[in-house]
């Protein structure tokens, strides 16, 4: 089993089917602690592989949680526009230097703690952004690729700074991922 270590810091104060890769997210600030996500590389191999590759490159370092909606989800991973020092007005519109991914829909439901790939209206447009569900979202089932599930630290996820600005954007200084590493 490979483990992906994501260190996430916030400004201001998952076990499941067929997995072989994990994700650890260190969060500080409003949400302070560690979150562990089991990734479903057998169910969504292309999507998981891209997240792992970007993490190994350090692409997720210093990337904000740019869209956090109470009772729904926290979204991050815009490595193009969502980095510290970037233009937060553009956060959520970018991806990475890697190609967009085909959808890998499964029968895994979106429940509290599920991690999915964000995308545009085109089902085959996921790239680098992902989200963690605060609550069940059955309306997403079969519409977005599930890449994993939080298995430890959901209490930390619950503390990620919310924002209901334009399009659900965080107002003020959003929480951010500071360091992302992959371990085998």
Q: Which of 33-37, 56-60, 131-135, 177-181 has the highest mean pLDDT?
A: 131-135
pLDDT at 165: 56
Return the bridge partners of 177, or none: 8, 63
pLDDT at 176: 81
pLDDT at 148: 94
Q: Which residue has the higher pLDDT, 39 or 166?
A: 39
Cβ–Cβ under 8 Å, residues 95 and 129: yes
Per-residue H/E/C for the chain: CEEEEEEEEECCCCCCCCCCEEEEEEECCCCCEEEEEEECCCCCHHHHHHHHHHHHHCCCCCEEEEEEECCCEEEECCCCCCECCCCCCCCCCCCCCCCCECCCCCCCCCCCCEEEECCCCCCCCECCCEEEECCCCHHHCCCCCEEEEEEECHHHHCCCCCCCCHHHECCCCCEEEEEEEEEC
Res 15 pLDDT > 60: no
Q: pTM, whole model, 2 decimals?
A: 0.85
Ramachandran area for residue 176 (φ above 0: left; ψ -120 to 50: alpha; else beta) = beta
pLDDT tens-place string over residues 50-101: 998 998 899 988 888 889 999 999 999 999 998 888 887 888 899 999 999 9
Tokens encoding 62: 């210093």
pLDDT tens-place string over residues 146-157: 999 999 999 989
pLDDT bucket at 21, cuts 50 / 70 / 90: confident
Domains, the chain, in order of start with CATH, read 2-183 (2.40.100.10)
Residue owning tokens 């956090």: 68
Cβ–Cβ under 8 Å, residues 116 and 145: yes
* Residue 148: count of CB within 10 angstroms of its CB: 31
pLDDT at 63: 87
pLDDT tens-place string over residues 106-161: 999 999 999 999 999 999 999 999 999 999 999 999 999 999 999 999 998 999 89
pLDDT at 108: 97
Burial class of 121 by CB neighbour count within 10 A (0 to 12, 13 to 18, 19+): exposed
pLDDT at 164: 57
Ramachandran area for residue 55 (φ above 0: left; ψ -120 to 50: alpha; else beta) = alpha
* Residue 105: count of CB within 10 angstroms of its CB: 15
Rounded mean pLDDT, 153-171: 77
């Amino acid at each position: 089993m490979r483990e992906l270590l994501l260190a996430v810091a916030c400004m201001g104060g998952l076990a499941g089917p067929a997995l072989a890769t994990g994700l650890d997210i260190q969060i500080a600030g409003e949400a302070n602690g560690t979150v562990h996500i089991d990734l479903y590389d057998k169910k969504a191999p292309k999507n998981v592989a891209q997240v792992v590759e970007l993490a190994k490159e350090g692409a997720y370092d210093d990337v904000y949680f740019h869209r956090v909606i109470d009772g729904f989800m926290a979204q991050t991973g815009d490595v193009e526009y969502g980095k510290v020092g970037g233009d937060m007005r553009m956060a959520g519109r970018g991806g990475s230097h890697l190609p967009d991914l085909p959808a890998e829909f499964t029968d895994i439901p979106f429940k509290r703690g599920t991690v999915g790939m964000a995308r545009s209206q085109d089902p085959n447009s996921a790239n680098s952004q992902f989200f963690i569900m605060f609550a069940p979202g059955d309306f997403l089932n079969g519409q977005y690729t599930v890449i994993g599930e939080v298995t430890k630290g959901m209490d930390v996820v619950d503390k990620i700074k919310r924002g209901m600005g334009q399009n659900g954007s965080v107002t003020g200084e959003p929480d951010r991922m500071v360091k992302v590493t992959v371990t085998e």
